[in-house]
Every structure is written in structure tokens, then in C-alpha cells.
Amino acid sequence: MNILKPGRIRIYDVANAAGVSIATASKALNDTGRMTEETRERVKRVATEMGFRPNAMARALLSNRSFTVGLLTNDTYGRFTLPLMAGVSEALVDQGVSVFLCTIEDDPALAKVHVDAMLDKQVDGIIASGKRIDRRLPVDLSNLPIPVVYAFTSGPEDAVTLVSDDAQGSREAVRWLVGLGRKRVVHVTGPESFVSVAERANAYREVVGVGGQVLHGPWSEAWGHEAVGKLWSTPGETPDAIFCGNDQIARGAVDALRERGLRVPEDVSVVGFDNWEIVAAATRPPLTTVDMNLKQLGREAGRLILALAGGQAVEPGIRKLPCQLVVRQSCGGIPPG
């Protein structure tokens, strides 16, 4: 039987072909762990026949560790952590590493319990994630005996921290609206206390100039609906475009515009932020929005935690990953090719 496969061969391909788990395949290829010699040789033979080439860095990591990385988060709803975890898993699965997820609410005692459990399981590193980029998790991870990478949460100055580039995403969205010929773009966004809100609002003002108008409120559809009422009850020219701080606000704005007999996007263009598929795709018309690329952020976090656990030097500091404008029907214009 010819088991050679076209394209990139991953460790789980080897494990499936050899009839073993990913962890067993990794141990066999690295001459570690307890198993029969027949199993070890079978895995190596299958890997050779398939043309599998293990990553040298990961091989050094996996030879002495637990094949697991902890993902610690207080985002219990999963809005940000689930796509991030999908990216982390993609980055680690090729190396035979699994992700151990712990949600901690905002409870320091619970956080300590979960961190201790991760250390007991001898995870090779921890990725700390949250629900906003300007708040730390309620636990100190700075003196752990394993590496920590922070993703979509605040970390110490000497740590590696990954966040989405909110300002870049905001500029791209507003420039798109201006490029469509919209003259009166208003920004309806979340609470002023969020750093991401300030960054998006400042970038919006950079594009539209001193005449820009920013309305702050809660992260909700109700606020988007209410904001439209405020804008259309104020004397003077009404907006011909609304750039919203998240997709929920945008959906509420679209509903309010429709109730006033206004057409989206013919009369008013609407753009959101987050690309939360469950909201953006269900909006009518489907919502143009900014994708924070959380899955890519997760892939980068996974890559960096492997590098750190493998002994590589990684420059500390905040790394901003670019966002991407996803053009659908709510703003008008032709999506970029």
C-alpha cells in the first residue's frame, strides 16, 4: 500500500497512518516515552515513507516535555478566545502539542488553582488571553518556571504580548468609506474606558479630520439603535456613513436606519468592527466589518510559545498584528479583488 501523500505532511498524518496518537508518534520520532519497540519502529518507518520532516525546534521541545501548552483566559463567553485557540491549535498540532484550556472568570483564587494545575501537568508554556487588551488576568504569571506569551490581554513590559492593530483596522475602514464618496462619516463606538476604543477613535479622526463626531456607549445593539435616534434627532445634516466600534452596535444601527425608511447602503453606509460571523452574516444587508484576525494572532502565539519553550531568544514587547477589512453589502462599493 502506498501511503505517500501530496503536499505537506503533518505529524497527525503520520499518527493516523501508523494507528497511534499524536503524542505517541511524537515520542516515537524523538526516541522518548514508553512503548513497544515494534510501535516505535512502525511510526519511524511510516514517517520516512510519507516524507515527514519534523521541525528541529519542536523536536528539541518535545523530547523532554509534556506535549501540552496551557491557554488561560477570563473570556468565559469565548468571543475572542475561541478563534484565538483555533489558531493556537493549528500552530501546535503539527508538532504533536495539545492545548489545555482553562477559563478563570475574574477570580484570582480560581486562576491560581488553574495555574497550579497547569504546572502539575508540566505544560511546556502558557498562553494568557483575555477579553480586552488593557486589562491583565487576575493572576501573576511573571515568575513561572515556564515561558508565557500574552495574546489579546495586557502583559508585563518584559513579556511577549500580541494584540490586533486597532488603529490600522480603523483607518482602513474609514478610508474605504471616504473612498466611496461618503462625506459625513460618524463613529459610534463603545465605552471611553477601553484602550481599543480610544485607538479606533483616534484613527477615525486622523482620516476624517476635525469635523469628526464620536458617540460613546455600551457594546450593544441597543446602543447602536439609540445612537441612530440621537443622530437623526439632532438639527443639521445627517450622516451618510456610520463606522461602528463593534458588530453588535452596527447591527443595531442598521435596524434603526431601516425603521426610519433609510436604505443601507444606498442612503447610509454602515461598517462594523470584529467580523463576528454570527452577527455580521445575519445582518441585513450582510455587514462590512473589520476582522481582527484573531486566528492568525493565535497561530503567532503558538509559534512564539514553541520558540520560547525550545530555548530560542524572542524579543519582548507588544506586537501588533494587522486587521483586515471584510467588505460585504452594508457599505456599498465593490470588494477589493
CATH number of the domain encompassing residue 267: 3.40.50.2300
pLDDT in tens, 238-270: 999 999 999 999 999 999 999 999 999 999 999
The whole-model pTM stands at 0.80
Residue 112 placed within a domain: no
Q: From CA 51, how far away is CA 49, in angstroms rounded?
A: 6
Q: How many domains does one find in the chain?
A: 1
pLDDT in tens, 4-55: 444 567 787 888 999 998 878 878 887 777 889 999 999 999 988 988 876 6
Residue 171 placed within a domain: yes
Residue 311 placed within a domain: no
Residue 267 DSSP code: T
Query: Which grid cell is 97?
Result: 502539542
Residue 233 placed within a domain: yes
- In contact, 120 and 97? CB cutoff 8 Å: no
Residue 251 placed within a domain: yes
Residue 285 placed within a domain: yes
- In contact, 272 and 287? CB cutoff 8 Å: yes
Q: From CA 129, how far away is CA 76, in angstroms rounded?
A: 11
Containing domain of residue 277, as a range? 166-293
SS3 of 5, please?
Answer: coil
Q: From CA 167, how far away is CA 337, in angstroms rounded?
A: 23
Residue 246 placed within a domain: yes
| Predicted local confidence at residue 5, as pLDDT | 41
Residue 234 placed within a domain: yes
> Identity (one letter) of the amino acid at 29?
L
Is residue 174 over pLDDT 90? yes
Query: Can you say whether the dihedral through the CA atoms of 293, 294, 296, 300 is positive or negative?
Result: positive
- In contact, 134 and 196? CB cutoff 8 Å: yes
